[in-house]
Amino acid sequence: MCGICGIALSARSTLRIDRDRLVRMRDVLLHRGPDGAGLYLDERIGLGHRRLSIVDVEHGAQPMASDDGAIQLVYNGEIFNHPQLYEELRTQGIVYKTRCDTETILRLYELRGRDCVPRLRGMFAFAIWDARSRELVLVRDRFGVKPLYYALLDDGSLVFASEIKAILASGAIAAKLNRRALPDFLANRAPSGTETLFAGIQRLPPGHILTWRDGSVALERYWDLRYPEPVERSDDAWIEEYRERLKESVRLRLMADVPLGMFLSGGIDSAAITAIMSQLVREPIKTFSVAFAEREANELEFARLVARRFRTDHHEVMLSPSDFFGSLPKLVWHEDEPIAHPSSVALNFVARLAAQHVKVVLTGEGSDESLAGYNRYRVTLYNLKLGQRYERLVPSWTRRVVRRGVQVLPATSKVYRVASRTFLALPTDLDTIYFDNFAVFGRAWQRRLLSRELQEELCAVDPYRAAHDALERCEARSLLDRLLYADMATYLHELLMKQDQMSMAASIESRVPFLDHPLVEFTAGMPERMKLRGTTTKYVLRRAMEGILPDAILSRRKMGFPTPVGQWFRTEYSHVVDEFVLSERAIARGLFDPQALEALVRNHIDGVERHDERLWCLVNLELWQRIFMDGEDPTSIQLS
């Protein structure tokens, strides 16, 4: 795992690439690669690299050059079919200088050019400068496990890096809020398309290749997930093959010359990987868990159950509110954008714990989006199916009476909390039932929250445009599969960035077996019943783990790593809300209506409504602006 960065200057550019500029970019990524550093400088191209040594620790320094020096490569990630490709290339007469997968990418590119990318099985982001064609080629893995951002300047020059802060360190572009990304951010916790909250800085989409040549940029999709018509097979046949494919994915991700471990939450995903790992290694695997003292946010009993079952070398860390808020500003700096999920903070703490013992961990991300693990899929299908019957059979005047009846219920009542999110109170279109219903700030909320100026400026911006584009692009016949595809193209991205940046902040690599692309392609071809069956989510995984995992793990409801941040905002950390939501400094930015903010906070404090996620979103947005827009040192910001 590493950090990469670089600059390519067009013929029109007046910018200079000097060593100091490139070193600033590279070394702001020190946490991503404390084991080594390298530079490549030419007249109009510069590449930088920070290395975290995982495979062939003694060799593999980057940038890595072809024998004639015409091709230069900087790379972040792991190629899990590297041993097979290594042997294949050697039989073709290729003489390796190292044993590392970096050289495999380089040699494949020499042979096949950009056509080499589909041969790679793994997580990766890399940049190749090809002096023969004067082209810079940027590549990102199929699901976006590894980050890659870029800015195309007005003069056609390109600046890229693993993290946005390195692009800003180049001095070629200033930090400025991208206001058009705000509706997407407010609805979905993070920008879900190619835009970021920084004006002029974009993310390279997963499964894409960007080619730059003297100011001209071309984007090419090299992979997309297909949903073929399922073949007729018995449930047992699907389950057996899924189990074997998952086992293969885990085995491939044990490739390392350094110690490995497992983030163990106590949910079925991490428990399944722990079980498989324990079958594949001789020594007890090291597992790491994190929790809060509050009972409703503590899953340690389930993590311990799994650790005992598979005799792991288990380690835990307990997180206090002061730890949580004390670390938040620095972690916003690491994330580059507002932290979407409070669980990111806990993830960083367990990564720090793991870093004391190992350099690589496996995690359970990606299962929910491929196997329908979120409750919202079941709720959406239920609402649409029953809602259509309801509209067909119940007169419109009766439906209006029921809707008004739901709306006048006390917001604190359980009946209101359930009914207000069903077809009884909502129009039964997909935008309302799926997107707005599960948004942080849906369209109605944004009309209430945004300042009048911003409402006029952003009235034509669709907060779900990236998801809508994905739904239109997907060829699946099943609505469930189309929703899964859209979430893999949007929501999954933020989860993977959380995983990458919170672990890399502790200089530790994380690997995601559920996102092995042959495994996900196999899952996409399954019938819907193998993913969601009645109220049972991730059906095939639960069946595949029967007799292996404890029944308590197989049958427990998904918790999603709850964080008691709403309780803290209501009590001892209400001052955080006062400062980062209601203060004159926050309101003076002119993004939100002050009265709407005050009503939101008051309702949460008084217990009228729970606005945990909404307040978290607003606090983090202001904190992010103070760090990146105002230039405030995150270590000087005191929250606890």
What average pLDDT does range 407-422 have in this prediction?
88
Residue 55 — pLDDT band, cuts 50, 70, 90? low
| pLDDT value of residue 412 | 81
Residue 584 — pLDDT band, cuts 50, 70, 90? very high
Alpha carbon distances (Å) from 207 to 105, 219, 477? 16, 10, 22
DSSP-assigned states of every residue in 40-79 = EE-SSEEEEEEE---SSTTS--SSEE-TTS-EEEEEEEEE
DSSP 609: S
- pLDDT, tens digit (0-9, with 9 covering 90-100), for 119-158: 999 999 999 999 999 999 999 999 999 999 999 999 999 9
Higher pLDDT: 608 or 311? It is 311
100 has pLDDT over 60: yes
Nearest to 464 by CA among 149, 191, 195, 142: 191
Q: Is the peptide bond prior to 594 cis by the omega test (within 30 degrees of 0)?
A: no
466 has pLDDT over 80: yes
| pLDDT value of residue 297 | 55
**Pairing of β 360-362 and β 260-263:** parallel
Q: Is 346 helix (H, G, I), strand (E, B) or coil?
A: helix
409 has pLDDT over 80: yes
Distance CA 616, CA 440 (A): 10
53 has pLDDT over 80: no
| pLDDT value of residue 266 | 85
Alpha carbon distances (Å) from 456 to 392, 460, 612? 37, 9, 28
Token readout for 561 is 């790593």
- For residue 338, the one-letter residue type is P
| pLDDT value of residue 258 | 67
| pLDDT value of residue 532 | 96
Alpha carbon distances (Å) from 21 to 9, 17, 33, 158, 532? 13, 7, 18, 14, 52
Total-model pTM: 0.95
| Of 327-336, 398-407, 440-449, 583-592, minimum mean pLDDT range | 398-407
How many helices and strands (H and E) does the chain possess? 28, 19
% of the chain with per-residue pLDDT over 90: 87
Distance CA 528, CA 516 (A): 20
Burial tier of 43 (Cβ tally within 10 Å: 0-12, 13-18, 19+): exposed
| pLDDT value of residue 493 | 93
| Of 35-44, 47-56, 564-573, minimum mean pLDDT range | 47-56
Strand boundaries in 293-405, DSSP class E: 313-319, 360-362
- pLDDT, tens digit (0-9, with 9 covering 90-100), for 161-182: 999 999 999 999 999 999 999 9
What average pLDDT does range 38-60 have in this prediction?
81
| pLDDT value of residue 231 | 86
Calculate helix-pair angle for 82-91, 101-112, nearest 10 degrees. Answer: 50
57 has pLDDT over 70: no
| pLDDT value of residue 260 | 87
Strand boundaries in 328-460, DSSP class E: 360-362
Contacts of 25 (CB under 8 A, 6+ apart): 5, 6, 7, 48, 161, 166, 167, 169, 170
Alpha carbon distances (Å) from 546 to 240, 276, 543? 11, 13, 5
